[in-house]
């Protein structure tokens, strides 16, 4: 088992990574000075697979747990589902010392975390992520929240978990498309922070795609270290934490205009990162060979790297980018790469450059239309 510390003073916590960890959950919680009651919040895909062993482990350590199952998928991140969770917590008389276990992907983590942040003005919670994206990204750092009709993650809080338990055995049942989408965030850590990790991913991608446990555990632990390091320096995103958004300005806009289900988050930011690398070449002199290495790694991971847009979709994409949280004063801001392993944030990018990066073929000479 590997352990990564998230250094946040009195709110510091550990991320434990390895196989077979679900059965340790109760024992780990017992070390955290939590109350005797808890609620396990999970979704309809994950609960039938793992809730039993989670509840058994809690029981063996002396905790009494109730299972709250929410629908699977992004629509569960809503105020309506939050209310259902609050009602269940109240019905089972969870009190100030009680805690919540978030068992699932990023959706469950964000939802259950926000329920924990707000129920009785805040109770403790523990993250037990079950998707690759949640292992390396959403379960660490304390950003929790739900969506509004007007947009994603518009209501939320910073509420750090007391523990993150990444049991890599849970990834065995993850659908291949979801697994690949998680790899998009893994690759992101290489680009923004760690050239050696990026090179390792180029080398070990076949092992990762086979979900080799040792490779997975090492790579997940490295990603968690990077996220912990960034969050430890800038918990509430006043600066550095913005680098985690590499590829996300375009990625979020793609998710926004294409509706639920068309692109997974990891797929959208794969396209976004490839475009951001091209913009980096144009604006910061980022090595074009490295931009190509980035594109190739996403292709090899089975992720999309391009999007075909009609004129109307293009218009919508730019409108969505202008509405993104990363926009201030009307300028679209990007995280751009200086080299693999080093990025800068807050870069203003002209719309023409974004267009070119999304449509590299427009660089080729074309016959004028008849």
Ligand X SMILES: NC(=O)c1ccc[n+]([C@@H]2O[C@H](COP(=O)([O-])OP(=O)(O)OC[C@H]3O[C@@H](n4cnc5c(N)ncnc54)[C@H](O)[C@@H]3O)[C@@H](O)[C@H]2O)c1
Q: How far is the CB of 235 from ligand X (least distance, A)?
A: 12
Rule CB under 6 A: is residue 141 a binding residue for ligand X? Answer: yes
What DSSP character marks residue 137? I
Give the residue, chosen from 18, 26, 105, 304, that forms a contact with ligand X under the rule CB under 6 A. Answer: 105
Nearest by Cα to 304 from 214, 215, 183: 183
137 counts as binding ligand X under rule CB under 6 A: yes
Choose between 14 and 110: whose C-beta lies nearer to ligand X: 110
Q: Exactly one of 55, 138, 258, 270 binds ligand X (CB under 6 A); which one?
A: 138
Closest CA to 110 of 154, 149, 150: 154
**Residues of 3-26 as b/e, b for ≥16 C-beta within 10 angstroms?**
ebebeeeeeebbbbbbbebbebbb
Which residue, 133 or 335, has its beta carbon nearer to ligand X? 133
| Cα gap 166→187, rounded to integer Å | 19
Contact 133, 106 (CB under 8 A): yes
Under the binding rule (CB under 6 A), the answer on residue 247 touching ligand X is no
Q: Is 304 in the site for ligand X (CB under 6 A)?
A: no
Residue closer to ligand X (CB basis): 143 or 162: 143
Q: Is 104 in the site for ligand X (CB under 6 A)?
A: yes
User: Residue 70 or residue 297: which is nearer to ligand X going by CB?
Assistant: 70
Considering the complex, state which of residue 240 and residue 283 has its C-beta at the smaller distance from ligand X: 240
Q: What are phi and psi of 237, to 5 degrees?
A: 55, 55
Candidate residues 57, 65, 69, 130; the one interacting with ligand X per rule CB under 6 A: 130
- Can residue 265 be called a binding residue for ligand X (CB under 6 A)? yes
Residue 130, both tokens: 């079950």
Give min distance, CB of 253 to ligand X, in A.
14
DSSP, collapsed to helix, strand or coil, labels residue 120 as helix
User: Residue 314 is inside which H or E element, if any?
Assistant: helix 311-323
| Catalytically annotated residues | 121, 143, 185, 227, 237, 241, 245, 248, 252, 265
User: CA-CA distance, 94 to 100, in Å (whole number)?
Assistant: 9
Token pair in block for residue 231? 């969050």
Q: How far is the CB of 303 from ligand X (least distance, A)?
A: 13
Least distance in angstroms from the C-beta of 55 to ligand X: 17
Element (H, E) at 99: strand 99-104
Work out how close the CB of 293 gets to ligand X at its nearest, in angstroms, rounded to a whole number.
24
Extract the tokens encoding 180: 């690949």
Phi, psi (degrees; rounded to nearest 5) at 129: -70, 145
Residue 227 within binding range of ligand X, rule CB under 6 A = no
Contact region for ligand X (CB under 6 A) — 18-26, 69-77, 79-87, 253-261?
Answer: 69-77
- Interhelix angle 248-258/311-323, rounded to 10 degrees, is 120
Among residues 88, 116, 128, 133, which is the contact residue for ligand X, using CB under 6 A? 133
Q: Does 134 engage in binding with ligand X (CB under 6 A)?
A: yes
Tell me: does residue 71 bind ligand X (CB under 6 A): no
- Render the burial of 206-227: b for 16+ CB within 10 Å, e for the rest: eebbeeeeebbbbbbbbbbbbb
220 makes contact with ligand X (CB under 6 A): no
Residues that bind ligand X (CB under 6 A): 43, 45-46, 49, 72-74, 77, 104-108, 110, 130-131, 133-134, 137-138, 141, 143, 152-153, 170, 173-174, 178, 265
């Amino acid at each position: 088992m590997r352990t990564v510390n998230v250094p946040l003073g009195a709110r510091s916590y550990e991320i434990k990574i390895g196989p077979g960890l679900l059965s340790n959950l109760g024992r780990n919680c017992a070390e955290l000075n939590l109350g005797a009651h808890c609620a396990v919040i999970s979704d309809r895909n994950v609960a039938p697979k793992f809730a039993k062993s989670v509840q058994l482990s809690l029981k063996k350590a002396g905790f009494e747990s109730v299972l709250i199952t929410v629908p699977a998928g992004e629509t569960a991140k809503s105020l309506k589902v939050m209310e259902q969770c609050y009602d269940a917590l109240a019905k089972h008389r969870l009190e100030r010392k009680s805690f919540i276990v978030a068992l699932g992907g990023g959706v469950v983590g964000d939802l259950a975390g926000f329920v924990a942040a707000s129920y009785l003005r805040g109770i403790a919670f523990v993250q037990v992520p079950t998707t690759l994206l949640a292992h390396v990204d959403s379960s660490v750092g304390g950003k929790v929240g739900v969506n509004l009709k007007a947009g994603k993650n518009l209501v939320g809080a910073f509420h750090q978990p007391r523990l993150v338990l990444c049991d890599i055995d849970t990834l065995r049942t993850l659908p291949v498309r979801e697994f690949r989408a998680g790899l998009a965030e893994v690759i992101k850590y290489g680009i923004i922070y760690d050239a050696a990790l990026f090179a390792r991913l180029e080398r070990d991608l076949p092992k990762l795609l086979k979900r080799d446990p040792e490779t997975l555990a090492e790579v997940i632990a490295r990603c968690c270290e990077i996220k912990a390091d960034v969050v430890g320096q800038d918990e509430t995103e006043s600066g550095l934490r913005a680098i985690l958004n590499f590829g996300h300005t375009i990625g979020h806009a793609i998710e926004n205009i294409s509706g639920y289900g068309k692109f997974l988050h990891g797929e959208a930011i794969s396209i976004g990162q490839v475009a951001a690398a091209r913009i980096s070449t144009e604006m910061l002199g980022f090595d074009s060979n490295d931009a190509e290495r980035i594109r190739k790694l996403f292709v090899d991971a089975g992720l999309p790297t391009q999007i075909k847009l009609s004129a109307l979709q293009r218009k919508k994409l730019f409108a969505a980018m202008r509405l993104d949280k990363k926009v201030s004063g009307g300028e679209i801001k990007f995280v751009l790469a200086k080299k693999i392993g080093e990025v800068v944030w807050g870069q203003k990018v002209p719309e023409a450059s974004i267009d070119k990066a999304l449509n590299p073929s427009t660089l080729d000479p074309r016959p004028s239309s008849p």
